Structure 1
């Protein structure tokens, strides 16, 4: 790995670190080290990073702000790429918004609201980056990315860069084509919004923030643990089973919302994984429902974009 680190640094792709603890880069504050951790500060440098990764046949994955991500205590083999500074451009032209993958999803929602642009109100309480949101079709309050995305610029492992339309993304509930069929890295996104009343938009976003504050934990967590098995809701299933507040090690099912696991300060990824399994077993035994995780669980190998 030392030679690859030297090659990345020689090409000045951005920050390059060895054995970087991913607990520093996930919202739940757990996760072992990445063999190599890279923060490219431009699209060109990200493309160069991917070229070096492919030449050396290394496993890789991308993270944004580390939400909806659970990394094992053993960490991740290969290269972890974080999209942040230098990948956070923003251009607003009328009702068309072009934004870099590293831009905060919440900050973007607030900025668009202040501009009087409507359609992004749902995003005001969703943590993470634009890239991650586009990748997984993030949503809340009856809307999601698929409702506002025009197209996404994507880097594929072979170095090809393509604009994928909304239709090309093959969106469904919390999924896109990038998760399985065509793994790639979201570089930028273009959203189409509508002109709206700033006061109405502000009121709607305040309502969402208040709801989130009153019903979701503020302690470190990874977001919703399970996809809702509609018409049922995972949080309600856990609540009915009396599991709110149930702990394993330093991981606890939130007392506010049964579909959130919080880190009480000492959690290991193993604690969170054990709690997830217990929740799944409970739903299956009590309700005959097989729960599927929304949070992406990353073991000691990885490939993709989050």
Structure 2
């Protein structure tokens, strides 16, 4: 690894770790080390880190809550930023909420309920961050983030802060323009409607109970692995292919929900990727349907021993 110790001189208030295992932060409990792992607490600190990376000509990777993410066992070169310390949530008088990128989406739904604001109940159990939810246009139970987002503040690769309106975000199924523009989501604004707190809470509780009854929340996982193929459901295809319980190393197709892959025994990211590849190959062979991954897969392949 290159000597990046000078990054510590940017701001003594930024927590910076070197060669840090990302398995400590991902929901799968897998992933190799980050050369540099930084936890900015503000836009200014994020800009300073990006400026450093640009000057050093090193790659930048941004992670939120790492709930729908697989980091390969070779880890991530360059600078990795985890934004979960940027987590301020502000409720405004005009039925809008502005939340920092690192805020938990679940916390946004709780803030909405506490202020009798409705429209975002569908996200009550989504374990991602606001930034990740924008990046992926996260959704559940008939709702998607683009139903409630009006705009987002982003940091572009040239270190410029821009405000993107709804149209500029160009949302699609598990898609947002920040993906191809390599922008960092800094915050987002949600527009909601006035509601009744008790009814909002009842809906959130119902959806969370439904999630708990159908999904393997008791085991480490990366959430829903595959996008919904047109005209099909990924979980049903995997189930019908007889793949529930299929296991490589410590990674297993969940017995509770075939659309999830769970860590049952000290799995590695390579175990996860091998299970994904086998599921894709088997489902295509049986049904002629290619399952496209929804989970974000990043990082380097592990160095193979001779």
Same structural fold, with TM-score higher than 0.5 when normalized by the shorter chain: yes
* TM-score normalised by length of structure 1: 0.95
Aligned to 2:166: 166
1:263-302 residue CA offsets vs partner (Å, 9 max, x unmatched): 013101111000000110111011100110000111319x
Aligned to 2:100: 100
**Whole-Å Cα distance in 1 between the matches of residues 249 and 12 of structure 2?**
42
Aligned to 2:287: 287
**Whole-Å Cα distance in 1 between the matches of residues 22 and 193 of structure 2?**
38
In structure 2, the CA distance between the partners of 1:117 and 1:291, relative to structure 1 (3 Å rule), is: same
1:33-83 residue CA offsets vs partner (Å, 9 max, x unmatched): 001101111110110000000011101110011111101111111111000
**Whole-Å Cα distance in 2 between the matches of residues 216 and 249 of structure 1?**
21
Aligned to 2:304: none
Q: Does 1:128 align with 2:128?
A: yes
5+ unaligned residues in a row in structure 1: which ranges? Answer: 302-306
CA drift at 1:253: 0.6
The residue correspondences of 1:202-217 to structure 2 (distance < 5 A) are 202-217=201-216
CA drift at 1:172: 0.3
Aligned to 2:117: 117
* RMSD between superposed Cα atoms in Å: 1.3
| Corresponding residue SS for 1:29 | coil
In structure 2, the CA distance between the partners of 1:13 and 1:4, relative to structure 1 (3 Å rule), is: farther
5+ unaligned residues in a row in structure 2: which ranges? Answer: 302-306
The residue correspondences of 1:8-87 to structure 2 (distance < 5 A) are 8-12=8-12, 14-85=14-85, 87=86
Q: Does 1:144 align with 2:144?
A: yes
**Whole-Å Cα distance in 1 between the matches of residues 10 and 145 of structure 2?**
38
Q: Would you say the 8 A contact 1:13–1:45 is kept in 2?
A: no
**Whole-Å Cα distance in 2 between the matches of residues 84 and 35 of structure 1?**
19
CA drift at 1:10: 4.3
Of structures 1 and 2, the one scoring higher in RCO (CA 8 A, sep 6+) is: 1
CA drift at 1:231: 1.9
**Whole-Å Cα distance in 1 between the matches of residues 166 and 254 of structure 2?**
35
**Whole-Å Cα distance in 1 between the matches of residues 196 and 147 of structure 2?**
19
| Corresponding residue SS for 1:172 | coil
Q: Would you say the 8 A contact 2:252–2:261 is kept in 1?
A: yes
Q: Would you say the 8 A contact 1:13–1:48 is kept in 2?
A: no
**Whole-Å Cα distance in 1 between the matches of residues 187 and 57 of structure 2?**
26
Instruction: Say which is worse superposed, 102-111 or 7-16, in terms of deviation.
Output: 7-16
Aligned length: 299
Q: Would you say the 8 A contact 1:13–1:49 is kept in 2?
A: no
Aligned to 1:189: 188
